[in-house]
A and B are shown apart, each in its own frame.
Chain A
């Protein structure tokens, strides 16, 4: 998504380039063509370009409201019982490393349920606690 956009009234006069207080606009002439350049990292979104353009060509609204940019896409870890999203696999690995233990992909509900089943299995008769019961 290009944030700085001009409509077809732009005639390349460079009023915006010359008046941008943040030096976020530039132009390059190559062969028979002039290209207007914009650098979002420099842009202060001050609106000077929009105010000063004699052609009313700067579509400033794109600098105020725009779509989301995709930044990164990572693999998710889900609960192995119910499939609920937990965290990313990379995050799980870092967590395992920091805790120095293998972190099971389980949501809190199924982690508790499996712990209860394990106690019933290993200590029969001692643990009859059900989910939601207090000790």
Chain B
């Protein structure tokens, strides 16, 4: 899921203090589950931001709402009610949610209350760890299900760097070396052959090297009959195919 963290309260206050009436919007998906931007957090944020001590003048007038997913434009237009005279929206969604709202409700300013941090999974209650960078060309089949892009501090692709010591990373010594984890996992799977197989240099274009990524699925209402070949080439997108 997408994991986010609440921004420092002072930063939020400074970005909203010019507005008189603010709608705080929680998101009911990823950030609800990672306890940073759901309905509960939206209510708590309204309570916190209503303290007069944060402001030179009167605090803004707050209302709050939560929508299942902020990143769906038609959910927003159909089901998010914006109270009259709202001057800004404070979003507890991820970056995708904030931008979808900003595009949908333009010119109303949409201000992020969260920092979108990573794609992660919960290892134990209350703990989320980064697992994926969305690089667009998944290698987990060859790395024992452990991602070297997300879990190696240097995102090294062909084995550990020279700084790996006793299974620890040289940059962050409190975290394991991703390639050490990969080696031991592959050994358990009798798949160490993956460590020695030759692979072509990685193509980073599907990982965002061609600019913002877009995917089109066929057969969905309004989508083209034939999808662009994978990966979507930038020049193909520019001519609208």
Residue numbers of A with Cβ under 8 A of B are 19, 45, 47-48, 51-52, 60-61, 64
Bitwise, B208-226 to A at CB < 8 A (1) or not (0) is 0000000000001100000
Could you say which residues of chain B place their CB within 8 Å of the CB of A61? 79
List residues 61-80 of chain B with CB under 8 A from any CB of chain A: 67-68, 72, 74-75, 78-79
B32 vs chain A, min Cβ distance (A): 12
With contact pairs A51-B74, A64-B79 given, residues A45 and B68 touching in the complex (Cβ less than 8 Å): yes
B141 vs chain A, min Cβ distance (A): 24
Could you say which residues of chain B place their CB within 8 Å of the CB of A51? 74, 221
Give the residue name and chain of the B residue nearest to A65 (CB): B79
Q: How many residues of B contact A (CB 8 A)?
A: 9
B60 vs chain A, min Cβ distance (A): 26
The answer to whether A52 touches B79 (Cβ under 8 A) is: no
With contact pairs A61-B79, A64-B79 given, residues A47 and B221 touching in the complex (Cβ less than 8 Å): no
Known A19-B220, A52-B221, A64-B67; further 5 A-B contacts with Cβ < 8 A = A47-B75, A51-B74, A51-B221, A61-B79, A64-B68
Could you say which residues of chain B place their CB within 8 Å of the CB of A52? 220-221
Could you say which residues of chain A place their CB within 8 Å of the CB of B74? 47, 51
Docked Cα-Cα span, A47 to B73, in Å, equals 11
Main secondary structure of the interface of B (DSSP, over half): mixed
Pairs A-B, 10 closest by C-beta atoms:
A52-B221, A64-B68, A45-B68, A64-B79, A51-B221, A47-B75, A47-B72, A61-B79, A51-B74, A47-B74
Docked Cα-Cα span, A51 to B74, in Å, equals 9
A16 vs chain B, min Cβ distance (A): 12
Docked Cα-Cα span, A80 to B118, in Å, equals 52
Q: What are 12 A-B pairs at a CB distance below 8 A?
A: A19-B220, A45-B68, A47-B72, A47-B74, A48-B220, A51-B221, A52-B220, A60-B78, A64-B67, A64-B68, A64-B75, A64-B79
A22 vs chain B, min Cβ distance (A): 14
Could you say which residues of chain A place their CB within 8 Å of the CB of B79? 61, 64
Could you say which residues of chain A place their CB within 8 Å of the CB of B67? 64
Q: Report which residue of A45, A51, A52, A64 has the largest number of chain B beta carbons within 10 angstroms of its beta carbon.
A: A64
B84 vs chain A, min Cβ distance (A): 21
Give the residue name and chain of the A residue nearest to B221 (CB): A52
A6 vs chain B, min Cβ distance (A): 16
Give the residue name and chain of the B residue nearest to A15 (CB): B221
B64 vs chain A, min Cβ distance (A): 15
Could you say which residues of chain B place their CB within 8 Å of the CB of A48? 220
Docked Cα-Cα span, A47 to B79, in Å, equals 12
A80 vs chain B, min Cβ distance (A): 35
Could you say which residues of chain B place their CB within 8 Å of the CB of A45? 68
List residues 93-125 of chain B with CB under 8 A from any CB of chain A: none
Could you say which residues of chain B place their CB within 8 Å of the CB of A60? 78
Could you say which residues of chain B place their CB within 8 Å of the CB of A47? 72, 74-75
Could you say which residues of chain A place their CB within 8 Å of the CB of B75? 47, 64
Docked Cα-Cα span, A119 to B75, in Å, equals 64
Give the residue name and chain of the B residue nearest to A45 (CB): B68
B120 vs chain A, min Cβ distance (A): 20
A25 vs chain B, min Cβ distance (A): 16
Give the residue name and chain of the A residue nearest to B75 (CB): A47
Could you say which residues of chain A place their CB within 8 Å of the CB of B68? 45, 64
Docked Cα-Cα span, A106 to B67, in Å, equals 42
